[in-house]
Amino acid sequence: MTNEQPIKIIIPPEEDAAVEEPVLVPERPSRNPSPQVKQVAGAAGKQVVGVAKKAWDTDARRKVTGGMKRGATAVAAKGTKLVQDKVVETAERQAREQAAAMQTRIKETDWKAEAQSGTAKALQWLSTSLSNLAARLTPAKEPPTPGESPTPPDTQDL
């Protein structure tokens, strides 16, 4: 095998390829096709329509379009589920964060000071309300006239 020479394939360039054939162009194109051309074109059109209808009515087309519909439905359902899962996950995370914040606030609140402050405000309100009530119930005192004897305080309200 070492004594053999490699085979060379040489393809000479074609001389005919350099010469282009002229394109035939009618001198005056006809605006109205001949009846024979119309008939052939109409028959070809009808044949194309017939083939298209046959292709549309095939079981293969029904299977493919049915499969595409099922696939699109599955993709939409999966997308909806992913969005729903993300919304639920976000809502749960926010609820956990709010619960943690409330627990921290409850732990950090000085309940003794809160109770004292609330009690002080309640007692001030009660004192104000009682003084207003007392002012409404207490009659205005008239000074005794010079001929009358003052009534003793025990019998004054009876």
Q: What confidence tens digit (pLDDT) does each residue in 36-69 have?
A: 878 888 888 888 888 888 888 888 888 888 888 8
Angstrom distance (rounded) from CA 74 to CA 71: 5
More confident residue, 88 or 13: 88
Angstrom distance (rounded) from CA 32 to CA 38: 9
Most confident of 49-63, 91-105, 136-150: 91-105
Angstrom distance (rounded) from CA 32 to CA 41: 13
Number of Cβ atoms within 10 Å of the Cβ of 61: 12
Average pLDDT over residues 95-120: 90
CB contact set of 144 (below 8 Å; sequence gap of 6+): 150
Q: What was the pLDDT predicted at 16?
A: 55
